[in-house]
Structure 1
Amino acid sequence: MVGAGIQKPKRRTRIQRANEKKILEAALEVFSQNGFRGSTIDQIAEEAGMSKPNLLYYFKSKQDIHETLLSRLLDSWLAPLRELSAEGDPLEEILNYVRRKIEMARDFPRESRLFANEIVQGAPRIKPILEGEINDLVLEKSTIMRKWMQEGRIKQVDPRHLIFSIWATTQHYADFEVQVKVVMGQGIDDPAQFEATKAYLEQLFTSLLKID
């Protein structure tokens, strides 16, 4: 009989899926506050409201949880850059990317800090992705931007530095949220502050790129 002796993986129950989601949500909170090294399984279990043995039934280690979070994060984190289209208006495509990134900083600040902590530590868990998928994506979009510049549709700048600048100016509002709130009085979770921040960034990158 074909397939004899091969067992299909058991489908997870609704309760198992709910518990995994609860663990990942708790881990995101703990990791985003303490970083990978400063976090423990005990802290994650306490945040999730479950026992450590119960947590370890779903994930074998702290690293297992962290890698699961990062893999899910990277897919959504890179989506706005993937959407930048060579067929669109150059300035509007870049400004749309800026808008999406500041929206993500507002809506997913913990995810941003999780990624930042990983990079600060030397990217030990995602370095192959940095060297492969992320580097390839930046090269692809830089090539598109460079073509726009050669055609005289936007000003000449180094596209890689442009992408870095977008990352830095948008993710700052999530990664340094406490500092932003102290200096500005409000973070970008406040609607008025968000609109003011978005307008400033649009003006900044328009001034940098628009052909007069």
Structure 2
Amino acid sequence: MNSPSRPRLDSGGKTRIQREKRAEIFEAALDVFAEAGLRGATLDRIASQAGLSKPNVVYYFDSKEAIYRDLLEALLDIWIDPLRQISADGDPVSEILAYVHRKLAMSREMPRESRLFATEMIQNAPRISDVLSGDLKALVDEKAAVIEGWAAEGRIAPVDARHLMFSIWATTQHYADFDVQVRGVLGPDREARRFDEADEFLTAMYTRLLTV
């Protein structure tokens, strides 16, 4: 599987030290938010996780909400990017399978980010609902038209493109959001191979679904 790009969590106009400190805070906040959510997180806990003093954290962010918001904004861009890469000029089955592989790779390499996103969804997405019904919906509509065009041309089996995307999100992100359940059910003998096995299974499943 191709490795996903990491989100860019710094911004222009900052010194190297400022960028490094912000990156340290974001890294610690990911751990805290992934475990406790926004409600359970505190600046004290984030500072402790980062090995910094609370005043040092407050120098860069005035609240945990500010850290959370910046993390979500960075995550949303990287989360949406694999969908942008579906090309209307490519082979339909290969393009969709490549999307599945990219999403599974994100769950494998970015589990904390996936859980942070899932937590926001569970809470009815109060901070990003405008993006979900705006930019994300527009992108889904665009790619759904491509997929349904392929189906109309007989290049893939008939499929509801939006529910296909929901299915891909569910089957790939599950391995990050419910990792403890996956490992518990598979047992220690298969734990290390869980993502490779998932990749093989999902490839076979979606190939069967999409092949005419």
TM-score for both structures, normalised by structure 2: 0.91
The answer to whether the aligner puts 1:200 opposite 2:201 as a matched pair is: yes
- Quick one: distance in 2 between partners of 1:187 and 1:149? 40
Q: Which residue of 2 aligns with 1:209?
A: 210
Tell whether the 8 Å contact from 1:188 to 1:194 is kept in structure 2 after alignment.
no
Deviations 1:81-125 (A, max 9, x none): 000000001011000000011111000000000000001001011
**Structure 1 pair 83–11 and aligned structure 2 pair: CA distance change class (3 A):** closer
Indicate if the aligned counterparts of 1:142 and 1:159 stay in contact, CA closer than 8 A.
yes
CA RMSD of aligned residues (A): 1.6
Give percent identity, aligned residues only. Answer: 53
SS at the partner of 1:88?
A: coil
Match of 1:79 among 78, 81, 85: 81
Counterparts of 1:194 and 1:119, CA distance in 2: 24
Matched AA of 1:182:
G
Q: 2 CA distance for matches of 1:11 and 1:135?
A: 32
Q: How does 1:117-196 map to 2 (within 5 A)?
A: 117-185=119-187, 190=192, 192-196=193-197
User: 1:11, CA displacement in angstroms?
Assistant: 4.1
Q: Which amino acid aligns with 1:143?
A: A
SS at the partner of 1:64?
A: helix
Structure 1 pair 55–188 and aligned structure 2 pair: CA distance change class (3 A): farther
Contact 1:187–1:193 (CA<8 Å) still a contact in 2?
no
| SS class of match (1:129) | helix
The unaligned stretches of length 5 or more in structure 2 are: 1-11
One-letter amino acid of the structure 2 residue matched with residue 193 of structure 1? R
Cα distance change, pair 187–55 in 1 and its aligned pair in 2 (3 A): farther
Amino acid paired to 2:35:
Q
Q: Please list every run of 5 or more consecutive structure 1 residues that lacks an aligned counterpart in the other structure.
A: 1-9
1:186, CA displacement in angstroms? Answer: 5.2
Residues 40/82 of structure 1: CA separation in 2 closer, same or farther (3 Å cut): same
SS at the partner of 2:96? helix
Q: 1:189 to 1:48 in 2, by over 3 A?
A: farther
Deviation, 1:195, is: 1.6
SS of match in other structure, 2:59: helix
Moved over 6 A (4+): none
Q: How does 1:28-67 map to 2 (within 5 A)?
A: 28-67=30-69
- Looking at structure 2, the residues matched to 20 and 27 of structure 1 have their Cα atoms a distance apart, in angstroms, of 10
Are 1:187 and 1:194, in contact at CA under 8 Å, matched by a contact in 2?
A: no
Give 1:189 shift: 7.9
Q: CA deviation at 1:194?
A: 2.0
Do structure 1's residue 26 and structure 2's residue 28 form an aligned pair? Answer: yes
- Matched to 1:46, the amino acid is S
Range 164-173 or range 11-20, more displaced: 11-20
Structure 2 partner of 1:5: none
Partners of 1:66 and 1:136 lie apart in 2 by 25
What residue number does 1:101 align with?
103
Q: Shift in Å at residue 187 of structure 1? A: 10
